Amino acid sequence: MKKIEIGKKLKPEQVYSVALDPNIKVELDPSAMEEIIKSRKRVDAVLNSNKAVYGINTGFGSLSDVKIEKEDLKQLQVNLIRSHCAGVGKALDSKYVRAMMLLRAHNISLGFSGVRTELIASLIFFLNNDIIPLIPEKGSVGASGDLAPLAHLTLCLMGEGDVVYKGVIKKSHEVIKQLGGKILELEAKEGLALINGTQFMASFAALGLIHAESLLKHADIISALTIDGVKGTFAPFDIRISKIRPHQGQLVVSQNISELSKGSKISASHKECNRVQDPYSLRCIPQVHGAVRDAISYLRKVVEVEINSVTDNPLVFDDCIISGGNFHGEPIALALDFSAIAMSEIGSISERRVDKILTPVFNGGLPAYLARNSGLNSGLMIAQYTSAALVNENKVLSYPSSVDSIPTSNNKEDHVSMGATGARKFIQVLDNVETILAIELMAAVEACEQRKPLETSNALSKVIDIVRAEVSSLSEDRVISGDINKIKQLISSNKILSEVNVE
């Protein structure tokens, strides 16, 4: 059985695996136990000294100056969680909730949060039994951590919230009892430790990162197929061009498409044609796809740091407890906004390539909209409209949420990241891009098939075969929304990447 240990360095791929596969078991690295226990003892020492320390025996936010008596500290934590459960909107998909639980457990396992091991055990119990807390998607401003979503998560650990278990919505205390688990009773500091953090944003970023990297590989493959379909030239992908402007992403894309096109009979058939240059959407693929790759590589760097960081407050060190701002989401908020903008460009240039495939003046002599018996049939005319609509939506979604800030907590929290909004927007952009690429793939396959008996390269022929196993050729007009969805699912499954190798 596969397992992943928390309390030591996690990789984005591990977060992705646990999020999507409930069969992967999560365990605490035994070597982390000592620091967790030491950290809790330092909190207990503060409680015994009766010294006022934020987050341990005081109120929260703008109420931090209010000292709480020792006999009220447990109730303080319960009140904190209940009051912060102010999320609204539809419930998060289970994969994001699983990622949140993993990252929250990992965060407090690093030994700076001052919590008991019972909190970590409770999160692991939920993960390993695939108990999914119902967490509303909206409500976090991404600054004092993702307070509302993490509070809804914690409420379920306390047995008070609703969860999904085996596809049925139930009360969390019923499921915990059914499985022989323990309802979590919070001690001093522990409620705050569970909700001060960036795990909502980080879960979206980690899962979105893996999705984006997959889409970028697909974009190179699909665009290579488009170039052949419209009888474009592969000359701009000569690696010598990119070597004198050596951005890493550009180099990779040029190499990918050069390799994908090797052996194409379509390409060889028009080497001496009169066309001098292709439109930018074809000719500048290395420069555009490559720049997006470099943007997503920045997201990877940020995610790798963020998922292995301690982001709650206050933080417990060897000699003191310090209230700081590691919960502020700015680092990840900026990266998410940048990534959404970048991935929108993949959709934008893809839609332009679809237009070229469907336009006779650009597509090397194929019929308008690739329609056989054009006029009676409209072919893929409206597929381009759909692509254009999604590109427009991505432009709206690409407005950076991180440039906004609305003060909270009586102006004590006077600058917030709005990274949670950026996280949700990024995922929607990726979904739209996946559909846009599916439309381009559908059109590119159709175009290449209309070049027969000329054949594309062996690598790209594999792609055509994979698509045709799901969607038949467009011999006459039919409802194509189902075709688009089938091809989108092919992209999502990574079946093409398993057959065609690209970096």
Q: Where are the beta strands (DSSP E) in 288-403?
A: 315-316, 321-322
What is the rounded CA–CA span in Å between residue 115 and residue 117?
7
- One-letter amino acid of 83: S
Matching residue, tokens 């936010």: 61
Catalytic residue among 16, 54, 96, 369: 54
Q: Are 26 and 124 in contact (CB under 8 A)?
A: yes
What is the rounded CA–CA span in Å between residue 134 and residue 151?
11
Active-site annotation holds for 54: yes
Q: b/e for 390-419, b at 16 or more Cβ within 10 A? A: bbeebeebbebbbeebeebbeeebeebbbb
Return the closest-CA partner of residue 239 out of 290, 175, 305.
290
Count the alpha carbons within 13 Å of 123 in the hemisphere toward its beta carbon. Answer: 26
Count the alpha carbons within 13 Å of 391 in the hemisphere toward its beta carbon. Answer: 21
Q: Are 264 and 292 in contact (CB under 8 A)?
A: no
Angle subtended by helix axes 94-108 and 117-128, to nearest 10: 160
DSSP secondary structure of 412-455:
TB-----HHHHHHHHHHHHHHHHHHHHHHHHHHHHHHHTTTTS-
Catalytic residues, by residue number, are 54
